[in-house]
Amino acid sequence: MPKRKPTKSALIKKADKVFSLYIRQRNSDHRGHTECFTCGKHDHWKKLQCGHFMSRRHYSTRWNETNCQVQCSACNVFRYGEQYKFSKNLDSKFGENTAEDLLILSNKTVHYDAADLLQLIEFYEKKISELK
């Protein structure tokens, strides 16, 4: 029986997972610890989340490495992403108007097909393997 092609929604889910793994690990230390971008809480990357400045519903910024930073669940979920602090920290770390530029970018329409998503997954799987 031939292998079925994954659905677009399955590919999006896989891309989200791989991207989140990368974002949470990219700045972790040798013990796997990193810190929340908005409150500074230190914890193991497995206990933290991939927080998005502009919501994941915006595909133009969904897998943007600047738009996405490590956040604790308190900031990301219970404090709704701490968007104001997030924007201030983005501008401080990446330069003035970074948050505004991401806002503008988030309003652009982007369409991903299966090939794009497979390429994105492969790219971040490679980046994760390079971290080890």
Per-residue pLDDT of 68-121, as tens digits, reads 999 999 999 999 999 999 999 999 999 999 999 999 999 999 999 999 999 999
- 47: which DSSP letter? G
Per the rule left: phi > 0, alpha: psi between -120 and 50, beta: everything else, 113 is: beta
For residue 2, pLDDT over 80 is answered with no
- Domain limits of the chain? 8-127
Largest CA distance in the chain: 55
More reliable by pLDDT, 4 or 117? 117
Res 1: pLDDT: 67
Res 116: pLDDT: 98
Provide the whole-model pTM: 0.95
- With H, G, I as helix, E, B as strand and everything else as coil, classify residue 113: coil
Percent of the chain with pLDDT over 90: 95
Give phi and psi for 49, each to the nearest 5.
Answer: -125, 165
